[in-house]
Chain A
C-alpha cells in the first residue's frame, strides 16, 4: 500500500524546474494574434464606412457655421429651427409621409391578395401571373419612372403627389407578395383542415388560423413598404411634377447648393427617426414572435431580408 502510493506520488512531488519560455519575437506574436483581430477590425471599418458619414453629418448639424469643415464654430440648434420653419421643406415632408401612409396599407392588401392564389391555388396561368407580379421588382426603377412620366402625359394626368402614389404602389406591393408568399409557403395546411374539421367557417379559419401565422410577414411588409415609399427617390423625381417630396427636396436643394446646414439638420432628424422607429419595430417583432435566443432573432431578421 505504502509502496504503491509512493510510486504514484513519486513523480508528482519531484520539483520540476519552471520552464523558461523565451518571449516570441514581436513579428511572430503579431502574426499569431492577427487572425483574431483582423476580422473584428475589418467589420468595424465597414460599419464605420456605412454609418460614419451620417454621424459626422449629425455632428455638423449642430455646428454654428455655414461651411462644413473644421474648426468647430460652436454649438447651435438654429439650423433645426430654420429647417422646421421652412415651408417648402414642411410641405415635402408632409407629402412624403402622406404618400407613404397610403402606399404601405394599400401595398399590404394588394400584395397579400396576390400572394394567396400564387402559393395556394393551382390554375393554368399561375406561372405567368407570378412572373407578372414579380416583374416590377426586376425592372429598374429608372425605366418604370420614365414610362410612368410618358404614360401620365399621354393620359393627360398632370403630375403630382397622386401620380407618385400610384407609381409607388405598383413597385412596392410585389415586395409584399414575395414576403407573404414565402411565409404562406411555410404554413402547414393540416392546421387549416383541423380547424375546418372542428367546424370553423372559412372566415374563422382566416381570422384564427391563417392571420396569426401571417402577422410577422404582414408587419414586416408594412414597415418595408412604408420605408420604401418614404425613401424612394427615382420614381418620385420623375412623376412628382411641382409637388415636393422629401428625397426630391434634398436632391434639388443640393443641386442649387443653398441652405446646406438646413439640409444637415433635417437629414439628421429624419435619419434618427428612421433608425429609432425601425429598431423599435424590430424589438416589438422579436418580442411578439417570442424569439429569445440570438439565433431566433437572426432568423426573424433574415425573414425580412430574404
Chain B
C-alpha cells in the first residue's frame, strides 16, 4: 500500500520533471527575449500613443503622433520615395540574381564553388565600409566620373551619380544582391537537370523551359529572397544617409532623425510601429507565397 503510493508519487515526480525539462532549457533564452525584445517593443507601442512636448513625454493616451504622420504631406513624400527606391532595388536585384543563380547552379561547374564562396564572403565585409567605398567611387571627383570624362562620354562630371535616388538604388542593390542570389541558388540546385533535358526533347525552347520549369520551381527561393532582403532595405537608413542626400531621404532616416536629432520620441515610436506593420505585411505575404507550390 505504502509502496504503491510511493511509486505513484515517484512516477508523478518523474513526469513533472519531464514536463518541466524544456523550461529549464528555455529559461535563459526566453528570459533574454522577454526582457530585451518583448518589453522594449511593448514600450514602443505605449510611447507611440504618448504626446511629446518640449517638456518631455506626457502621460495620457493620444493619437496625435499617428494623426501627424498621416496628415503631414512630407511624410507621404518620404513614404512614397522609400517605396519607390526599395522596390526598384528589389526588382533590379531579382533581375540580376535570377540569371546569376541559374548560371551558378547549372552552368558554372568547377567555378560553382569559388563564385559561391565569393558571394558568401562579401557579406562578411562591413556594410558601412561597402557603402563608403561606393560613395568614393560615385562622387563628383570620383573614379567613375574621372573615367567617363577621360573616355569622353561627358564633358562635365555627372552630378546625379551621387546623392541621388540613383545612387541609393545602386548601393542598396549591391549591398544585398548576394543575399538575393543564395536562396534562389538553393532552390534551383534542388531541381533535377533531367527535367530540362526532357523538356528539350519534347521540343521546348529555352524560353518555355525557363517559364514553365525554372521559374515555378525556383519560386520559393524567390520569395525567400524577397523576405530576406526587402524588409531590411525598406527600413535602411545608413545607405540613404551616406549616399542619398536630401533628394533620397527614406523612412529610416526619418525615424533616426526623430529619435536622435529632433528628440520627438512619440512620433519616432509611432513611425517605427508603422514601419514594423508595413514590413510584417511584406514578410507575411512573401512567406505565404514562398509556401505556395506554383507547379500544379
Contacts and interface: CB of A to CB of B under 8 A. Distances in A.
Chain A residues touching B, majority SS = helix
A114 B26 contact: yes
Interface stretch (A23-31, A42-50, A76-84, A186-194): A42-50
Chain B residues touching A, majority SS = helix
B174 A49 contact: yes
B133 A274 contact: no
Interface in B98-122: 99-100, 103-104, 107-108, 110-113, 115-122
B143 A70 contact: yes
A146 B112 contact: no
Contact of B259 (A133, A146, A170): A146
B29 A133 contact: yes
B124 interface: yes
Interface in B230-251: 231-232, 234-238, 241-242
Contacts of B128: 231, 233, 247, 250-251
Contact of B136 (A51, A60, A129, A233): A60
A50 B118 contact: yes
Contact of A147 (B41, B124, B279): B41
Given A56-B143, A233-B128, A251-B238, A114 B29 contact: yes
B32 interface: yes
B276 A297 contact: no
Contact of A140 (B99, B124, B125, B279): B279
Nearest to A298: B113
A166 interface: yes
Contact of B231 (A140, A144, A150): A140
Given A56-B143, A250-B128, A279 B121 contact: yes
Contacts of B236: 142
B133 A57 contact: yes
A216 interface: no
Contacts of A70: 143, 146
Given A69-B143, A146-B268, A305-B182, A151 B25 contact: no
Nearest to A68: B136
Q: What band does the interface of chain A fall in when counting residues whose beta carbon is under 8 Å from B?
A: 35 or more
Contacts of A143: 41, 44, 235, 272-273, 275-276
A227 interface: yes
A56 B126 contact: no
Interface residues of B, number: 87
Given A142-B275, A167-B36, A298-B112, A53 B134 contact: yes
Nearest to B150: A70
Interface stretch (A13-21, A206-214, A263-271): A263-271
Interface in B1-56: 19, 21-23, 25-26, 28-30, 32-33, 36-41, 43-44, 47
Interface in B124-172: 124-130, 132-137, 139, 141-143, 146
Of the listed residues B44, B241, B252, B260, the one surrounded by the most CB atoms of chain A closer than 10 A to its CB is: B44
Contacts of B28: 109-110, 113
Contacts, number: 243
Interface of B: 19, 21-23, 25-26, 28-30, 32-33, 36-41, 43-44, 47, 96, 99-100, 103-104, 107-108, 110-113, 115-122, 124-130, 132-137, 139, 141-143, 146, 174, 177-178, 182, 186, 189, 231-232, 234-238, 241-242, 252, 255-256, 259-260, 265, 268-269, 272-273, 275-276, 279-280, 283
Interface of A: 39-40, 42-43, 46-47, 49-51, 53-54, 56-57, 60, 67-70, 109-111, 113-114, 116-117, 121, 123, 126, 129, 132-133, 135-136, 138-144, 146-151, 154, 166-167, 169-170, 173, 177, 227, 230-231, 233-234, 237-238, 246-247, 250-251, 254-255, 260, 263-264, 267, 270-271, 274-275, 278-279, 282, 294, 297-298, 301-302, 304-306
Given A69-B143, A123-B22, A146-B268, 5 more contacts: A237-B256, A251-B238, A267-B132, A275-B121, A297-B113
Nearest 9 A-B pairs (CB), nearest first?
A53-B133, A147-B40, A117-B22, A151-B40, A114-B29, A140-B235, A147-B44, A170-B36, A142-B235
